[in-house]
Chain A
Amino acid sequence: MSLVFAGVCSHAPGITSRAHLADPEVKDAVHNAMKRLGEQLRAARPDAVIVVAAEHFANFFMNNMPSFAIGMADAYEGPIEDPAWLGIARREIPGDAALSLRLVTEVMQTVDVAYAEEWKFDHGIMVPLHFLTPDFTTKIIPVNINCQGPPLAPLHRAWSFGEALRRACDKAPERIAIIGTGGISHWPATPDSGKVNAAWDRAFMARWARNDKAAMLSYTDAETYADGGQGGFEIRTFIAVAAAARGQGRVQFCEPVPIFAVSCTTATMEVI
């Protein structure tokens, strides 16, 4: 088949772990936006969902850090965090090793990509899945772009990776959805946690929604760090999804929520 759905969303652990500390109306608005994205995703009837996430030293460390990695197992486990802390029970999540093998084989025609036959999901994947595929029975293909430990992959390489994922999806008979998780501006897990640059977020999401490749790729890491914090490096996941979908995006929700430490965001993009 091909790519049947594309979207992006936030994955901040606070969305679930600190739900009880948020204003109930704000919490409900964020959770409902995430659930709506899930309804749209499931309406596309995907056989598998590629989750392009930024992971956080759950599987990959600086002894051997791939810029791009794809999971290649029939089952994964998560969350790696304390389930009580994250607010999401630990469980097994189904994968599809055979599909992963075909995707990896095609992607590596143009992009050097690592593959992993084991993978523990952290909040970067578990928080989105908690809302998007809440029964956790949908097959997931985990994908990571290193947004964590510099040197980071240049943005144009994240774009090329998204293009390669799309080409691989087009060659697969399955119906495949793609979700990018991460960003936009945030200073996670530090005393600055809660700081958000909403103007920078809106500007980036406008570029993303126009699928303006040149504008999206024009950020330097230094600018991103200064304006969007270390969490801003995760725009790579959104950029990869834009490259894969090729269409125009629609931002459904983008509101700064300091207690969740990010501008909570959901958006879809037309697949063309």
Chain B
Amino acid sequence: MSLYAMQKFFFHLNREPKVQQRYREDRASLLAEYALDDEERDAIDRGDIGKLYVLGCNGQLLMHFAPLLGLSWPEYLQAMRDGVQQHGPVRRGIYAMTTGVDDKVAGL
């Protein structure tokens, strides 16, 4: 488990256009530079917002990733709900989901 490394990757991805370009064009070698476990690397590779949320990724980092993937805000929120439904509660990090997976607290 390497939540720190996973979040560090997103910190770089959010800040640096060159890292965003490598994510699109050279993803395997980019991700190899971070001490990720297989589950984390796979979730990033597949753009699996729900799994990344369950793995503990900070939402302020994850929020940037959604538009990079072309996800709208409602899709971003739904992906996290789907992640919890599929994989269970958030495993690490600062979050514990406090609403139900079917709740639409933002009205979306």
Contact = CB atoms under 8 A, between A and B. Distances in A.
Nearest to A188: B59
A259 B106 contact: yes
A220 to B, nearest CB: 16
A88 interface: no
A68 B10 CA distance: 23
B51 interface: no
Given A62-B7, A192-B98, A82 B105 contact: no
Main SS at interface, chain B? helix
A193 B7 contact: no
Q: How large is the interface on A (under 10, 10 to 19, 20 to 34, 35 or more residues)?
A: 20 to 34
Contact of B108 (A21, A63, A82, A150): A21
Nearest to A148: B60
A191 B81 contact: yes
A187 B63 contact: no
A150 B93 CA distance: 10
Contact of B105 (A21, A63, A194): A194
Nearest to B66: A85
Contacts of B81: 191
Contacts of A248: none
A134 B55 CA distance: 39
B73 to A, nearest CB: 6
Interface of B: 4, 7-8, 10-11, 14-15, 53, 58-64, 67-68, 73, 77, 80-81, 84, 94-95, 97-99, 101, 103-108
Given A58-B15, A191-B81, 11 more contacts: A57-B7, A57-B58, A58-B14, A84-B67, A120-B15, A188-B60, A191-B77, A194-B105, A230-B94, A259-B106, A259-B107
